[in-house]
Amino acid sequence: MADKTIESIPGSIVQDFNTFLSYLEENECKATNSLYYLSSKDLFLLNQRMKFPQEGVNVRSRQPNYPMLHLFYHLFMVSDLGNLESKTKTKVVFVPSAERYKYFRSLNETEQYFFLFKTLFQYCDFERISTEERGGRIFYTQVDQLFSLALGMQVGEWIDLRGRSLGEKREVFYFLGALIQYLSYFGFWECKKDTEVSSRTFVLIRRLKITTLGRAFSELIVNKTPAVQWNQYLFFSASSSSSFSSFFHVEPPTVPVIEPEGNLEDYFRHLFPEGQLGVVHAQLPRIYQAGKYVFKIWPEAYPKVWRRIEISDQHTLEELHLMIQKVFEFDNDHLYSFFPDGNFRSKVVYEDPRGEMGMSAEEVTMGELHLQEGRVMSYLFDYGDEWRFYLQLEKIEKGKMPLSTPRLLESKGKAPEQYPDWGEGW
């Protein structure tokens, strides 16, 4: 089955994504104030330009209500096709990268299709794009189990995912509903949502019909390119499964964590007509960035209170933590964690040197994080009270003399009290 050539690109994902890119290029799209999503207005207008517009939405609907556009947003950001830029102190907009746009448009349709698939499969955090704001957690074995189960399906035959014949396997489809929906845009299968049961936590898929393409891809993923070995977030999860699994009270299955060889497209090239799929660069190279890093930092609970600081590429995340404590007048009396991708549930985490969950914040410098201007990282302090902060990297001033110590550039608003209820009942 895997030797069958795919003669044409399925669905409208390539066409719709190009429409998405053109809209961001032609319009100044403002990001929302908290999660830096697309605005409700732009989402509504963009949806009307899709070949199959999302139904049941209105001018006030938020980004997660548009599954395809939500996916496109993440593909756009993860593949470096664009970034965020602060126009004023309160206005952040999406800025397409002319160089990356030119590169993407130079690819043929097959390569554009694989560019999008590679971005999703290799570089996206499945948990973040699937359950963001919904509170679910995806473990590293579930994604590969999904493709293993897909291999057991007959092409063109509808499968009831709530059927008893699936037994405990139904849980995989339950947790990965959003990812299943995203892969349907790539033509892996057709899926129908469950109309009898609703959930605010998960996308519930009731029926699934695998395609010839979906079976061919699934066979390769299971036998040649396991997701856990290619996806950087699943790889990290498997590599640190001991502490991660003990914290969440699950027993980690034994999975060999082996770094793959070659490029992902090397394994899939034979599925397409000869000469149609070359090497696609779905991300820019991640290199050390020297310079002064200017961050705007604010607590999630107090978005109008912020501090702007400057820190050197040579300073560690531990030193950034101490600076945050200083400018917000906290007592530095609890553990903390940094999440470079901005997701508080991310598997890629740098934490207090005294912690046991992630990599030490004391051992990584700002320049080693491969941060990009405009992007937002997050910081969690005190695992009990959970003080959540966002840090937007406004700019990297390259070629400047390094700072000996981080410094405060600007501030707005009174710092919130770390213990506002102290004194009551004492």
Write out the two tokens for 215.
């079976």
The predicted pLDDT at position 36 comes to 85
User: Which of the pair, 348 or 426, is modelled with greater confidence?
Assistant: 348
The predicted pLDDT at position 134 comes to 42
Task: State whether 201 and 115 are in the same domain.
Answer: no
Q: 70: domain CATH number?
A: 1.10.10
Least confident of 5-9, 93-97, 158-162, 185-189: 5-9
Closest CA relative to residue 372, chosen from 289, 273, 259, 278: 289
Closest CA relative to residue 211, chosen from 191, 225, 190: 190
Which of 203, 237, 271 is the last residue in one of the domains?
A: 271
The predicted pLDDT at position 137 comes to 57
pLDDT in tens, 353-366: 987 766 899 999 99
Which residue range(s) make up the domain with 327?
292-412
The predicted pLDDT at position 171 comes to 73
Task: State whether 350 and 373 are in the same domain.
Answer: yes
Closest CA relative to residue 193, chosen from 43, 56, 45: 56
Place of tokens 């519930």: 204
User: Which of the pair, 421 or 258, is modelled with greater confidence?
Assistant: 421
Task: State whether 198 and 243 are in the same domain.
Answer: yes
Which of 241, 271, 301 is the last residue in one of the domains?
A: 271
Distance CA 109, CA 298 (A): 42
Domain count within the chain? 3
Task: State whether 216 and 159 are in the same domain.
Answer: yes
**Residue at 284 is within a domain:** no
Task: State whether 105 and 197 are in the same domain.
Answer: no
Which of 127, 153, 186 is the last residue in one of the domains?
A: 127
The predicted pLDDT at position 311 comes to 96
**Residue at 190 is within a domain:** yes
| Local confidence band at 168 (pLDDT 50, 70, 90 cut-offs) | low
**Residue at 281 is within a domain:** no
**Residue at 276 is within a domain:** no
**Residue at 1 is within a domain:** no
Least confident of 126-135, 160-169, 224-233: 126-135
The predicted pLDDT at position 54 comes to 93
Distance CA 266, CA 114 (A): 11
Q: Assess whether pLDDT exceeds 80 at residue 167.
A: no
Task: State whether 254 and 146 are in the same domain.
Answer: yes
The predicted pLDDT at position 98 comes to 94
Distance of CA 42 to the CA centre of its chain: 21
Task: State whether 56 and 18 are in the same domain.
Answer: yes
| Local confidence band at 40 (pLDDT 50, 70, 90 cut-offs) | very high
pLDDT in tens, 318-350: 999 999 999 999 999 999 999 988 878 777 889
pTM of the model: 0.80
DSSP states of 67-113: HHHHHHHHHHHHTTSEEEEESSSS-EEEEE-HHHHHHHHHS-HHHHH
**Residue at 207 is within a domain:** yes
The predicted pLDDT at position 332 comes to 94
The predicted pLDDT at position 403 comes to 84
Task: State whether 41 and 22 are in the same domain.
Answer: yes
Q: Assess whether pLDDT exceeds 70 at residue 101.
A: yes
**Residue at 246 is within a domain:** yes
Task: State whether 163 and 107 are in the same domain.
Answer: no
pLDDT in tens, 121-148: 999 988 778 754 444 556 667 888 889 9
Task: State whether 26 and 145 are in the same domain.
Answer: no
Task: State whether 387 and 326 are in the same domain.
Answer: yes
Q: 396: domain CATH number?
A: 3.10.290.30
Distance CA 309, CA 321 (A): 12
**Residue at 417 is within a domain:** no
Q: Assess whether pLDDT exceeds 60 at residue 93.
A: yes
The predicted pLDDT at position 159 comes to 87
The predicted pLDDT at position 135 comes to 43
Distance CA 424, CA 426 (A): 6
3-state secondary structure of 395: strand
The predicted pLDDT at position 330 comes to 97
The predicted pLDDT at position 88 comes to 73
Of the chain, the percentage scoring pLDDT greater than 70 comes to 85
Of the chain, the percentage scoring pLDDT greater than 90 comes to 56
Task: State whether 257 and 150 are in the same domain.
Answer: yes
Distance CA 227, CA 125 (A): 11
Q: What is the mean pLDDT of residues 248-254?
A: 38
Q: Assess whether pLDDT exceeds 80 at residue 409.
A: yes
pLDDT in tens, 177-222: 889 999 999 999 999 887 766 655 567 888 899 999 999 999 999 9
| Local confidence band at 237 (pLDDT 50, 70, 90 cut-offs) | low
291 φ/ψ sector (left φ>0, alpha ψ -120 to 50, else beta): left
What average pLDDT is seen over the chain?
A: 85
Least confident of 9-13, 160-164, 253-257, 261-265: 253-257
C-alpha angle 261/265/271, rounded to 5°?
125
Neighbours of 419 (CB within 10 A): 11
By CB atoms closer than 10 A (0-12, 13-18, 19+), residue 393 is: buried
The predicted pLDDT at position 252 comes to 40
